[in-house]
Amino acid sequence: MDSPFILRWGIMGTGNIAKTFTKDLLLSQKWQSDRTISHVVTAVASSSSMEKTRHFVNELRLSSACTNYDSYKFMVADPKVDVVYVATPHSHHFQHVMLALESGKHVLCEKPLTVNAYQARTLCEEARKRNLFLMEAMWTRFLPITSDVLEKIRRGQIGEVLRVVVDTSFGDDVEKTWGTQHRMLNRDLAGGALLDLGIYSLTWIFLCLYHALPESLRQAPSGIAAQMTLNHLTGADEASSILLTFPTSAPNDVPEWKSQAVALTNLRVSTDPDGKNSAGPAIRIQGTKGEIQLDGPSFRPERYRVISRCDGAEGQDIESVKVVDYPVPSEAKGMYWEADEVGRCLRDGKIQSQSLPWEEIIAVLEVMDEARRQGGLIYPEAIENASYSSY
Ligand SMILES: NC(=O)c1ccc[n+]([C@@H]2O[C@H](COP(=O)([O-])OP(=O)(O)OC[C@H]3O[C@@H](n4cnc5c(N)ncnc54)[C@H](OP(=O)(O)O)[C@@H]3O)[C@@H](O)[C@H]2O)c1
């Protein structure tokens, strides 16, 4: 076997998801998600203290070949780094991705790529200009279960898909869990349920009603109606519901048909209150020949059911439900699949992933922009603008 393509990562930020992602990178060898790609962490940077970096490196037992930084600016200049993983709050993604691109690094940036579509467009133009890879870390896209479901839709197993309903809701004691300063509800950090969780509901909707179609047939939603409940203390959304109409059906775009979707997210009520999926599926993908249901959470489903439509023929109901399981190893989160995609793209000289093209990332952000406009959620100008000045 040829030796694997080695990808050298620089981790920007030492918070929760940086830790989870880096752990998964280290596990990728063990689970051999893609034997042709090998991941190495060569640098870690905290913007606040060297102590945080050291703690991160020690806790994850990163090799001595990993350089510690207390500044993002110096980390992105490290020649031993090929790709930077940006794991800072949404509010800072635009600035931090630009910093990495400006230093000639490829970038995987946590979701949402930016606060709004305009910022995302600006980053994609910059990446194109510099011939650098850029992708939003929407890891759900790269789970094997997601590819399997997408393939089923494309093959027409449930007929023409006309409706998708997705709920990504946590059910927290909001005041106790998040307070007013945490990035989940702090408007200065682009807080709110939609950008943090609702994006997963939209991801599934776009996968089924946009991405499942051949590229030439993909169309953004023609209708968007949104309602938001804004938190009484911070003004960030604690609940958002979005109704969408797509001008197409999927996967064939039958000219007379359109499709509809409902994207839900809520911090106070839960998709899965008892943690056993008793409340039903988080995702329903409804087609003319049946339906695919996925148990939540929507960001990492591990089971789906295909329910075939019965036409009343004798004995048909016996095989009408097929259950398929995709368990993720308990010690992992399942983020190595997206990391492998970054490796494949860089190995093959691509600047964007066909599984998550820039145009689609921007189309999802445009829906969130419109939902925020209708819901009255305004972020400070300092985090909405796309002006960048070098560090
Ligand atoms: N894919 C997923 O499943 C998933 C899950 C959770 C979060 N996320 C995404 O990951 C991003 C980070 O979320 P998180 O939960 O990891 O947040 P977090 O625990 O608060 O960590 C964010 C880190 O960003 C750095 N940072 C830089 N500037 C900052 C500022 N002004 N305020 C606060 N932190 C700042 C800090 O690291 P240093 O001090 O070391 O620089 C901090 O530890 C968000 O965009 C979120 O949407 C994704």
Residue 391 lies in a domain: no
Within this chain, do residues 160 and 275 fall inside the same structural domain, yes or no?
yes
Per the structure, how many domains does the chain have?
2
CB-based contact 239:271 (threshold 8 Å): no
User: Does the Cβ of 110 fall within 6 Å of ligand 1?
Assistant: yes
Average pLDDT value for residue range 359-381: 98
Q: How far is the CA of 183 from the centre of ligand 1 (A)?
A: 8
Structure confidence at residue 225 (pLDDT): 98
Structural domain boundaries, residue 349 = 5-138+335-356
Q: How far is the CA of 86 from the centre of ligand 1 (A)?
A: 9
If pLDDT is split at 50, 70 and 90, which confidence band does 260 have?
Answer: very high
CA–CA distance, 194 with 198 (Å, rounded to integer)? 4
Within this chain, do residues 225 and 115 fall inside the same structural domain, yes or no?
no
Structure confidence at residue 103 (pLDDT): 97
CB-based contact 135:218 (threshold 8 Å): no
Mean pLDDT of the chain: 95
Residue whose CA lies nearest to ligand 1 atom number 2: 17
Structure confidence at residue 289 (pLDDT): 96
**Could you tell me the CATH number of the domain that includes residue 212?**
3.30.360.10
Structure confidence at residue 278 (pLDDT): 96
Within this chain, do residues 102 and 154 fall inside the same structural domain, yes or no?
no
- Which atom in ligand 1 lies closest to the alpha carbon of residue 111? 47
Range name among 45-54, 67-76, 101-110, 326-335 with the lowest pLDDT average: 326-335
Average pLDDT value for residue range 283-312: 95
The three-point CA angle 11-15-17 to 5° equals: 75
Within this chain, do residues 154 and 292 fall inside the same structural domain, yes or no?
yes
Average pLDDT value for residue range 283-310: 97
Q: Is 81 left (phi over 0), alpha (psi -120 to 50) or beta?
A: beta
Residue 82 DSSP class:
S
Residue 78 lies in a domain: yes
If pLDDT is split at 50, 70 and 90, which confidence band does 115 have?
Answer: very high
- Which atom in ligand 1 lies closest to the alpha carbon of residue 48? 39
pLDDT greater than 60 at residue 317:
no
Q: How far is the CA of 131 from the centre of ligand 1 (A)?
A: 27
Within this chain, do residues 33 and 150 fall inside the same structural domain, yes or no?
no
Structure confidence at residue 320 (pLDDT): 86
pLDDT greater than 80 at residue 236:
yes
Q: Which residue out of 11, 12, 16 has the highest number of ligand 1 atoms within 8 Å of its CB and is therefore the one to mutate?
A: 16
Cis-peptide into 214, omega within 30 deg: no
Q: How far is the CA of 178 from the centre of ligand 1 (A)?
A: 14
User: Does the Cβ of 68 fall within 6 Å of ligand 1?
Assistant: no
Within this chain, do residues 34 and 156 fall inside the same structural domain, yes or no?
no
Dihedral of CA atoms 47, 51, 56, 57 in degrees, nearest 10, equals: 110
Residue whose CA lies nearest to ligand 1 atom number 33: 89
CA–CA distance, 32 with 27 (Å, rounded to integer)? 8
Structure confidence at residue 315 (pLDDT): 58
Residue whose CA lies nearest to ligand 1 atom number 15: 16
Residue 128 lies in a domain: yes
Residue 286 lies in a domain: yes
User: Does the Cβ of 334 fall within 6 Å of ligand 1?
Assistant: no
**Could you tell me the CATH number of the domain that includes residue 50?**
3.40.50.720
Residue 380 lies in a domain: no
Within this chain, do residues 302 and 343 fall inside the same structural domain, yes or no?
no
Structure confidence at residue 242 (pLDDT): 99
Residue 141 DSSP class:
G
Q: Is 65 exposed, middle or buried (0-12, 13-18, 19+ CB in 10 A)?
A: exposed
Q: How far is the CA of 309 from the centre of ligand 1 (A)?
A: 44
What number of H helices and E strands is found in the chain?
A: 12, 14
The secondary structure of the chain in percent helix, strand, coil, rounded to multiples of 5, reads: 35, 25, 40
pLDDT greater than 70 at residue 291:
yes
Percent of the chain with pLDDT over 90: 91
CB-based contact 19:59 (threshold 8 Å): yes
Q: What does the block give as tokens for 352?
A: 């964007």
Encode pLDDT of 37-91 as tens digits. Answer: 999 999 999 999 999 999 999 999 998 889 999 999 999 999 999 999 999 999 9
DSSP strand pairing (237-246 vs 290-294)? unpaired
Within this chain, do residues 347 and 306 fall inside the same structural domain, yes or no?
no
Question: Smallest Cα–Cα separation from 41: which of 55, 59, 17, 60?
Answer: 60
Within this chain, do residues 164 and 91 fall inside the same structural domain, yes or no?
no
Range name among 64-68, 73-77, 227-231, 380-384 with the lowest pLDDT average: 64-68
Structure confidence at residue 314 (pLDDT): 64
Residue 381 lies in a domain: no
Encode pLDDT of 15-35 as tens digits. Answer: 999 999 999 998 877 776 788
Percent of the chain with pLDDT over 70: 97
Within this chain, do residues 13 and 104 fall inside the same structural domain, yes or no?
yes
Residue 95 lies in a domain: yes
Q: Which residue out of 17, 138, 177, 336 has the highest number of ligand 1 atoms within 8 Å of its CB and is therefore the one to mutate?
A: 17
- Which atom in ligand 1 lies closest to the alpha carbon of residue 335? 1
CB-based contact 261:244 (threshold 8 Å): yes
CB-based contact 68:57 (threshold 8 Å): yes
pLDDT greater than 60 at residue 251:
yes
User: Does the Cβ of 121 fall within 6 Å of ligand 1?
Assistant: no
CB-based contact 248:258 (threshold 8 Å): yes
Encode pLDDT of 136-190 as tens digits. Answer: 999 999 999 999 999 999 999 999 999 999 999 999 999 999 999 999 999 999 9
Within this chain, do residues 108 and 28 fall inside the same structural domain, yes or no?
yes
Within this chain, do residues 29 and 167 fall inside the same structural domain, yes or no?
no
User: Does the Cβ of 196 fall within 6 Å of ligand 1?
Assistant: yes
Q: Cβ neighbours of residue 247 under 8 Å, at least 6 residues apart?
A: 219, 221, 222, 258
Q: In which residue are the tokens 């560090």 written?
A: 391
Structure confidence at residue 340 (pLDDT): 95
Q: At what angle do helices 336-347 and 16-31 cross, to 10 degrees?
A: 70
Structure confidence at residue 37 (pLDDT): 93
User: Does the Cβ of 168 fall within 6 Å of ligand 1?
Assistant: no
Average pLDDT value for residue range 241-260: 97
Residue 389 lies in a domain: no
Q: Which residue out of 86, 110, 196, 201 has the highest number of ligand 1 atoms within 8 Å of its CB and is therefore the one to mutate?
A: 110
Q: Is 260 exposed, middle or buried (0-12, 13-18, 19+ CB in 10 A)?
A: middle
User: Does the Cβ of 332 fall within 6 Å of ligand 1?
Assistant: no
